[in-house]
Structure 1
Amino acid sequence: MAKIKKLGSTPNVMVVISLTIALFLIGMCGLLTLNARKLAELVKQNVELQVYLDDDLTTSKLDSIYKILIKKEFVLLKENSPQINFISKEVAAKQFIEESGEDYRRLLGDNNPLHNLYAVKIKQEYFNDAKLKEIKVALELIPGVHEVAYVENFVDEVNKNISKIYLVLSVFVMLLLLIIIILVNNTIKLSLYSQRFLIRSMQLVGATNGFIRKPFIIKGALQGLTSGLVASSCLILLQQLAVRKVEGLVLLQEMDKMIYLLLGILIIGTLMGILSTFQSVERYLRLSLDELY
Structure 2
Amino acid sequence: MPKKKKIGSYPNAMIVMSLTAALFLIGFCGLLVIQSKKLVSIIRQNIEVRVFLNKEETKAGQDSILSVINAKPYVLVSTEVKPITFVSKEEAAKEFIEGTKEDFVTFLGENPLRDSYRVKIQEDYFEEAKLQLIKKDLEKIKGVYEVVYQEDLADNINRNVTKIYVVLASFALIMLIIIVLLVNNTIKLAIYSQRFLIRSMQLVGATNGFIQRPYVMRGAIQGLIGGVLAGALLIGLQQLAVRNVEGLGMLQEYDKIIILIGSVLALGILIGISSTYQSLARYLRMALDDLY
Specify the TM-score bucket, using the shorter chain as the normaliser: over 0.9
**Counterpart code for 1:34:** I
SS in 2 for 1:78: coil
Aligned to 1:133: 132
Deviations 1:57-109 (A, max 9, x none): 11111111111111111111124997111111111111112222322234223
2:18 counterpart residue number: 18
Give the structure 1 partner of residue 50 of structure 2. 50
Indicate yes or no: 2:274 matched with 1:275. yes
CA separation in 2, counterparts of 1:106 and 1:78? 39
Partner SS, residue 288 of structure 1: coil
Q: Say if 1:145 and 1:13 are closer, same or farther in 2 by CA, change over 3 A.
A: same
> What secondary structure sits across from 2:281 in the alignment?
helix
Could you tell me the TM-score, scaled by structure 2's length? 0.95
Moved more, 174-183 or 250-259: 174-183
1:254-274 C-alpha deviation (Å, 9 max, x unpaired): 010000000000000011001
CA distance in 2, matches of 1:42, 1:145: 28
TM-score by length of 1: 0.95
TM superposition shift of 1:114 = 1.1
The amino acid across from 1:203 in the alignment is Q
* CA contact 1:75–1:82 (8 Å) conserved in 2: no
Could you say what secondary structure the match of 1:152 adopts?
coil
1:226 maps to amino acid: I
Q: How does 1:197-216 map to 2 (within 5 A)?
A: 197-216=196-215
1:92 and 2:92 equivalent? yes
Correspondence 1:287 to 2:289: no
Q: Describe the shift of the 1:236–1:24 C-alpha distance in structure 2 as closer, same or farther (beyond 3 A).
A: same
Residues of 1 paired with 2:211 and 2:172: CA distance? 34
Q: Deviations over 1:46-67 (max 9, x none)?
A: 1111001111211111111111
Structure 2 counterpart of 1:248, one-letter code: G
Structure 2: give runs of 5+ residues left out of the alignment: none
Equivalent-residue separation in structure 2 for 1:216 and 1:53 (angstroms)? 74
Please name the residue that 1:83 is paired with.
83
Over the aligned positions, Cα root-mean-square deviation in angstroms equals 1.7
1:190 and 1:99 map into 2 onto residues whose CA distance is 66
CA positional deviation for 1:279: 0.7
After superposition, what is the alpha-carbon deviation per residue over 1:137-163, rounded to whole angstroms, capped at 9, x for unaligned? Answer: 121222211111111121111111111
Indicate if the aligned counterparts of 1:70 and 1:82 stay in contact, CA closer than 8 A.
no
SS in 2 for 1:147: strand
Runs of at least 4 residues of structure 1 off by over 3 A? Answer: 1-4, 79-82
Contact 1:129 1:155 in 2 (8 A): yes
The residue type paired with residue 100 of structure 1 is: T
Q: Which amino acid aligns with 1:50?
A: R
Aligned equivalents of 1:281, 1:123: Cα separation in 2 = 53
Alignment partners' CA distance in 2, 1:269 and 1:250? 28
1:128-207 aligned within 5 A: 128-207=127-206
User: Shift in Å at residue 134 of structure 1?
Assistant: 1.2
Aligned pair count reads: 290
